[in-house]
Amino acid sequence: MPRNRRPQDREEKRAEIVVAATTLFTDSGYDETSMSKVATAAGVTTNTIYWYFDDKDALLVAVLDYVLEAALADAALEPERPWGEQILWAVDRLDQYRRLVTVVHAKTATSPVVEAWHNGFHTLVDTLLVDGFRRVGIPESDLVPMAAIGTFVVEGLLMHPHAVKDRRVIVQTLVASRP
Amino acid sequence: MPRNRRPQDREEKRAEIVVAATTLFTDSGYDETSMSKVATAAGVTTNTIYWYFDDKDALLVAVLDYVLEAALADAALEPERPWGEQILWAVDRLDQYRRLVTVVHAKTATSPVVEAWHNGFHTLVDTLLVDGFRRVGIPESDLVPMAAIGTFVVEGLLMHPHAVKDRRVIVQTLVASRP
DNA sequence: ACCTGAACACCGTTCAAGT
DNA sequence: ACCTGAACACCGTTCAAGT
């Protein structure tokens, strides 16, 4: 058995746990999903999870990484769109992860590892929003506050259910607004 | 002992529990505060709390009501201000309750009683924002999406720490924006 | 290196029993 | 009506023991 076989297996097993946790966390919620439920869904024993992850927070971060990576890969395949459509696409794409969005904000206050992920996520989103607003002609001096407002609108739409039509009106109003 | 003495006592005892829970929930967090900690702080036994509240979620809602009522009473005492200053005052006033804001959003998905409070809160905030934006001359047709954006900005500022100065720039950009 | 059975301390909640 | 002691089922996490 070659030496590089093992790490391969380890990654596969780890991934199975992450996939199981993703489904449960997004559908039933983080607090509502016990480690033993994740274990059962992944076909392992509860404490086996602790061989792969430090604790439940670390498993959450792994789920967040997994979900974000998939969304970014999807985004790369998508055609260029008008700026408003781009934002709406992202909101639609992330809509299924509402429960992750709320739990990240709640856990950020107490879990350093979740807080770190949250910071990195906001840095990424901020970069994307600054670029987008620059492209539609927002003056350089207003880009930072506009990106902040954009972030809050995207998060707000993810945290509060809205009809697809209402989302559209809100986002169009946002991208059409000028300070 | 007159018959109306009892309800008085009951309210006092209930209020003591709410005050104790408010401090603990806002400072240490909801999940991090056990019912037994609330009980100790309030000088009662754990299960006495269940005589006054259905469960931990109901206690959270009582805390939310208490905190909101105090903030509204404060607001009534405040002088009229320019629209942007009004929003900034509210953000400053509610800043201490960041942890309540995040936990409300997280629990809304699973607790009907928290969800009901959350809905009521948004109805209230929406009314205030529509009025405010109308006063600064936003056309009637844009009031609804602008109020939604305003809500998301206020919540976003409460959920993400910002320097006071950055808050000001963001809110000023918001109120100066026109679709 | 990887996995498990059994335990630990703690949690929200309940309930029979007291006054 | 109000409060308690004691219990219940469950939780995240640990650890000695196995392979």
The CA distances from residue B33 to A56, A58, B50, B63, in Å, are 18, 22, 16, 13
Q: Convert the pLDDT of each residue in B104-123 to its tens digit.
A: 999 999 999 999 999 999 99
> Model confidence at A85, in pLDDT bands (50, 70, 90)?
very high
List the one residue out of B166, B72, B82 whose CA is nearest residue B125: B72
Name the closest residue on chain A to residue B179, using Cα atoms. A177
Query: And the tokens for B54?
Result: 């259905």
A7 — pLDDT class (breaks 50, 70, 90) = low
Mean pLDDT of A103-114: 98
Distance B9 CA to D2 C1' (A): 11
What's the pTM?
Answer: 0.94
* CA B168/CA B87 separation, integer angstroms: 10
Phi, psi of A44 (to 5 degrees): -130, 180
The DSSP code for A43 is T
As a whole number, mean pLDDT of residues A118-128 equals 97
Q: Compute the average pLDDT of residues A21-28.
A: 98
For strand C, list residues 41-60 of chain B whose Cβ lies within 7 Å of it.
46-47, 50, 55-57
Using alpha carbons, select from B135, B159, B53 the residue that is nearest to residue A109. Answer: B159
Show which positions of strand C are touched by protein (CB under 7 A). 1-6, 10-15
Q: Quote the pLDDT of residue A5.
A: 45
pLDDT at B6: 58
Q: Alpha helix (H) ranges present in chain B? A: 5-28, 35-42, 49-52, 56-77, 83-94, 98-108, 112-135, 143-159, 164-176
Give yes or no for B72 touching A (CB within 8 A).
Answer: no
Write the CATH number of the domain with boundaries B1-53.
Answer: 1.10.10.60
A93: left (phi over 0), alpha (psi -120 to 50) or beta: alpha
C-alpha–C-alpha distance, residues A79 and B120, integer Å: 40
Which tokens in the block code for residue B167? 């808050």
**Residue A159 · residue A101 · CB < 8 Å:** yes
Phi, psi of B7 (to 5 degrees): -55, -35
* B59 token code pair: 């206690």
Contact assignment for A144 to B103 by CB distance below 8 Å:
no
- What is the per-residue pLDDT across A136-154, written as a single tens digit (0 to 9) for each? 999 999 999 999 999 999 9
pLDDT 10s digits, A38-54? 999 999 999 999 999 99
Task: Decide if A1-53 and A65-176 have a common fold.
Answer: no
pLDDT for B7 beyond 70:
no
Handedness of CA A16, A48, A103, B48 (dihedral sign): positive
Q: Which of the four pLDDT bands, split at 50, 70 and 90, describes residue B10?
A: confident
At the topology level, CATH places domain B65-176 in: Tetracycline Repressor; domain 2 (1.10.357)
Domain-wise residue ranges, chain A: 1-53, 65-176
Q: Is A125 on the interface with B (CB under 8 A)?
A: no
Q: How far apart are the first and last CA of chain B?
A: 65
Residue A84: per-residue pLDDT: 96
Interface test with A, best of B33, B118, B169, B177 (most A CBs within 10 A): B177
Question: Does residue B106 contact residue A102 with C-beta atoms inside 8 Å?
Answer: yes
